[in-house]
């Protein structure tokens, strides 16, 4: 009973801390603007199964993509065993889900195999980060704390897998004696359980209890550490993929309020009937954290900081300042900085900083060619160009700021009705002396 009480107290504390973190995140979401309407649930489910669970984008880098997919699939399988541990901890039972029969055997066998495979993959990941210089892991946005965060999270996952295998091995050593029955199938642990054969039963039981508590406590700690690290994508990547923008990548979103402004200028008599939702907004485009949409913020929380977007960015590859990963990471950092003040003091709160200029420079934004290579490569379907375009819109429409070449085009459109320097009457002057061959 003492174990159950202790477990219940720890579980309540874990859920309490996690609930506070999620409620704070929800408050930040409420500060953001509306995005696209969420429709086409069938198509969204298909995208989620393919990109999130199928890991199709990850496999564009076949070897390391396979290792990452193994870790993801392993977490999905092992999560079932974690649910069982919670039930056992609260009820005092052992292997509470064994009534599932053959399905339980399959779940336990899969979890046991994935425990070893995930541990191997994590060792490979740690080795790559600590011993090799992987270019896409570097960049001005990748501070020392970013690398430390990744190494700590990987180490915690490794401890989770080692404690899982240790728990299974000790369980088999305890129960493979006359009068006791093993619940489940453990292909890997059954091969390694002989390590404990020379130990007294009491010591093996202590090892089992130690591994059991270490594993479940590490899960609780991990769940509450994740929201404060880049590994929050463990929770957020699947929802982010499900809520992906379904329009073709090259399609830029329209500004409905601007469309209505133009219509009001052309057809003033229609202005009185326009709904309030399409009236001019307080701000055109994105300047700061409160101007982004809920999808922009969700993208920032789902970002894995893998650097695949930046590694394929043609602007970055040619030495320009733009790093799509930095843009998304800056969203998360700015909301973390300004969000508490906005929640406490309302949208009028001003800390004399802004996302644009203090975090992201206009030079970075104008370097983007809107080729969408970053969005196409992103394993969690983040739409970087959409956010970049919105920040450009602020620069142009609020500050009248743009590179000289673009200003020249704006002037031509205003004066000549087209991007060219010639008036409409002179537009075909270049062709006046051309003689067509009639033969």
Which domain CATH number covers 41? 1.20.950
Domain boundary, last residue among 242, 266, 298 = 242
Q: Are residues 227 and 325 in the same domain?
A: no
Q: Are residues 314 and 228 in the same domain?
A: no
**Residue 379 — φ and ψ, nearest 5°?**
-75, -10
How far apart (Å, rounded) are the C-alpha atoms in residues 331 and 300? Answer: 6
pTM of the model: 0.86
pLDDT at 409: 87
Range of the domain at 54: 2-242
Q: Are residues 288 and 226 in the same domain?
A: no
In a domain, 70, yes or no: yes
How many domains does the chain fold into?
A: 2
Residue 293: helix, strand or coil by DSSP? strand
Which residues in the chain come in under a pLDDT of 70? 178-179, 269-281, 436-439
Angle at 33 between CA 28 and CA 34, to 5 degrees: 120
pLDDT at 264: 73
Q: Are residues 220 and 111 in the same domain?
A: yes
In a domain, 317, yes or no: yes
Q: Are residues 235 and 309 in the same domain?
A: no
DSSP 436: P
Burial class (CB in 10 A: 0-12, 13-18, 19+), 89: buried
Q: Are residues 172 and 32 in the same domain?
A: yes
349: its two tokens: 């709160």
In a domain, 33, yes or no: yes
CA 167 to chain centre: 32
pLDDT at 421: 79
Buried-exposed string 295-310: b where 16+ CB fall within 10 A, e elsewhere: bbbbbbbbbbbbbbbb
Distances (CA, A) of 395 to 94, 202, 241, 287: 62, 70, 30, 8
pLDDT at 154: 92
Q: Are residues 124 and 183 in the same domain?
A: yes
**In contact, 186 and 168? CB cutoff 8 Å:** yes
Which domain CATH number covers 372? 1.10.1060
In a domain, 255, yes or no: no
pLDDT at 183: 85
Q: Are residues 332 and 198 in the same domain?
A: no
Q: What is the pLDDT of residues 381-390, one digit of tens each?
A: 999 999 999 9
Q: Which residue has the tokens 């893998």?
A: 306
Q: Are residues 210 and 354 in the same domain?
A: no
**In contact, 344 and 382? CB cutoff 8 Å:** no
pLDDT at 120: 95
In a domain, 47, yes or no: yes
DSSP 33: B
User: Terminal CA-to-CA distance of the chain, rounded, Å?
Assistant: 102
Nearest by Cα to 112 from 212, 219, 186: 186
How far apart (Å, rounded) are the C-alpha atoms in residues 363 and 391? Answer: 12
In a domain, 437, yes or no: no
Please report which residue ranges of 227-269 form alpha helices under DSSP H: 233-242, 256-266
**In contact, 28 and 297? CB cutoff 8 Å:** yes
């Amino acid at each position: 009973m003492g174990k159950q009480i202790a477990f219940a107290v720890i579980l309540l504390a874990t859920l309490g801390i996690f609930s506070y973190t999620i409620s704070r995140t929800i408050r930040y979401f409420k500060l953001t603007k509306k995005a696209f309407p969420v429709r086409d649930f069938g198509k969204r489910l298909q995208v989620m199964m393919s990109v999130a669970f199928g890991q199709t984008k990850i496999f564009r880098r076949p070897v390391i993509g396979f290792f990452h997919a193994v870790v993801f699939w392993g977490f999905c399988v092992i999560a079932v065993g974690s649910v069982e541990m919670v039930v056992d901890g609260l009820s005092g039972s052992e292997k509470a889900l064994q009534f599932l029969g053959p399905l339980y055997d399959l779940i336990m066998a899969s979890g046991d195999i994935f425990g070893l495979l995930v541990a191997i993959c994590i060792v490979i990941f740690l080795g790559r980060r600590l011993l090799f210089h992987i270019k896409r892991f570097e960049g001005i946005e990748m501070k020392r704390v970013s690398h430390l965060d990744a190494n700590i999270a990987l180490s915690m996952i490794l401890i989770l897998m080692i404690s899982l295998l240790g728990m299974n091995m000790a369980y088999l050593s305890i129960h493979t004696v006359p009068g006791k029955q093993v619940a489940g199938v453990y292909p890997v642990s059954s091969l390694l359980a002989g390590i404990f054969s020379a130990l007294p039963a009491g010591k093996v039981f202590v090892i089992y209890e130690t591994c059991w508590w270490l594993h479940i406590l590490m899960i609780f700690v991990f769940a509450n550490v994740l929201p404060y690290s880049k590994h929050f994508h463990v929770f957020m990547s699947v929802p982010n993929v499900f809520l992906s923008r379904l329009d073709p990548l090259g399609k830029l979103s329209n500004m409905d309020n601007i469309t209505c402004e133009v219509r009001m200028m052309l057809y003033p008599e229609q202005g009185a009937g326009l709904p309030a939702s399409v009236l001019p907004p307080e701000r055109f485009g994105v300047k700061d954290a409160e101007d982004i949409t809920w999808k922009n913020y969700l993208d920032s929380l789902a970002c894995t900081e893998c650097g695949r977007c930046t590694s394929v960015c043609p602007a970055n590859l040619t030495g320009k300042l733009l790093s799509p990963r930095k843009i998304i990471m800056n969203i998360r950092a700015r909301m973390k900085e300004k969000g508490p003040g906005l929640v406490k003091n309302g949208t009028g709160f001003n800390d004399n900083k802004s996302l644009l200029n203090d975090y992201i420079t206009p030079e970075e934004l104008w370097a983007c060619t809107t080729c969408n290579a970053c969005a196409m490569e992103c394993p969690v379907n983040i739409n970087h160009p959409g956010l970049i375009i919105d920040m450009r819109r602020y620069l142009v429409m609020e500050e009248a700021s743009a590179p000289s070449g673009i200003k020249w085009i704006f002037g031509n459109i205003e004066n000549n009705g087209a991007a060219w320097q010639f008036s409409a009457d002179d537009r075909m002057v270049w062709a006046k002396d051309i003689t067509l061959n009639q033969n």
